[in-house]
Amino acid sequence: MDLRMIVVLAVLTGVTGSSNATMRPETGSVDTAGDLNTVPETVEDTLVFGQQQNEEETEEDVMATGELNPSHYPARRAAIVVQHYLNSRYGSPNKLFMVHRVHRACAEDVPDAGRKYQLDISIQEIMSNAMEECSAEVLFPRGEQPGSAEVRASCEELLKINSTTQDEAFYQQHKNNQTLVSAQYLPDSYGHITPGMEPLRTLGTVASSFIMLNQSSENTLYNIAQVANLTQLSTENSQLKFQYHVLLHDMVSQEIINWKLLFTWSPAEGVKIQQMEQLPHVCEKLPKTN
């Protein structure tokens, strides 16, 4: 085989070779078994549960003012903060909100306050598949200790979605069970989840929204990668009580961050956070489950 043929074969191999990669949430290591590290072109491609994305590079400055390209990350980061806000306020085991698309975005510096983003976005409620175009405002405070982002959102029709029947059934099931529920790896390393575990995974996403809202800035883009494990705890009051270990993915730094959550939930009271604690990195690999 002459040199020219070798070069041609090498080029073809480079073009057709597999680029699939799955990030191991605990370690940040790469497993070529999956295809989860894809770059989303629009916000609706930013998948909620354990789907990892790499931060694409754009020429747009994060601190640009005026009209922003709605498909670029400065606008999308602000929009995802609205998602965390809605889930922390109105989410439940059977109600979860996700940003579908950013239609319009602009940013301005507010003297002595911070940086304000004004957004027109489409929000989707996952369980009902309902969607509404909403207006929102996100203010990222500045200073030595800037605090959490301040969010205002107008999504009147979505907030009318009633999940009371499903939430009450979930509550009664776990309130009256003789055995306290426990689970791990939601989803597993292949993206699989048992259907009966979906409400528990959704509840973990809602509770994690409190962390992601609190930790979000103009330089982050948080999503939940996985519920590593959860345990229902006994309680003498009317609330269900849970301890969750969740893995959060900052798609800007590509860091996987471990958090422990202690919280209560009931249909009447919603999620009440009792404790949030960031944990050290875990070196244990996810099990491969068929």
pLDDT at residue 283 in the model:
52
Rg of the chain over all Cα atoms, to the nearest angstrom: 21
pLDDT at residue 288 in the model:
52
* pLDDT string in tens for the chain (290-residue length): 454 444 333 333 333 333 333 333 333 333 323 332 333 334 444 444 434 344 444 444 456 789 999 999 899 999 999 999 999 999 999 999 999 999 999 999 999 899 999 999 999 999 999 999 999 999 999 877 778 999 999 999 999 999 999 999 999 999 998 899 999 999 998 999 998 999 999 999 999 999 999 999 999 999 999 999 999 999 989 999 999 999 999 999 999 999 999 999 999 999 999 999 999 875 544 455 44
The fold of the 164-279 domain, in CATH, is Nuclear Transport Factor 2; Chain: A, (3.10.450)
With beta carbons less than 8 A apart as the criterion, state whether 206 and 221 touch: no
Q: How far is CA 135 from CA 76, 93, 120, 129, 154, in A?
A: 14, 25, 5, 19, 6
CA of residue 33 relative to chain centroid, distance = 22
State the Cα–Cα distance between residues 223 and 52, nearest whole angstrom.
8
State the Cα–Cα distance between residues 48 and 226, nearest whole angstrom.
10
Closest alpha carbon to 275 in 240, 239, 241, 228: 241
The fold of the 43-160 domain, in CATH, is Nuclear Transport Factor 2; Chain: A, (3.10.450)
pLDDT at residue 144 in the model:
74
Closest alpha carbon to 77 in 210, 215, 278, 276: 215
Domains 43-160 and 164-279 share a fold: yes
pLDDT at residue 195 in the model:
85
Find out whether the peptide bond into 187 is cis, omega within 30 degrees of 0: yes
Q: Which secondary-structure segment (H or E) carries 3? A: helix 3-16
Q: Which secondary-structure segment (H or E) carries 182? A: strand 182-186
The residue to which tokens 């020219």 are assigned: 4
pTM for this predicted structure: 0.78
Q: How far is CA 89 from CA 52, 78, 120, 207, 261, in A?
A: 25, 17, 20, 10, 17
pLDDT at residue 25 in the model:
38
Sketch the domain layout of the chain as residue ranges.
43-160, 164-279
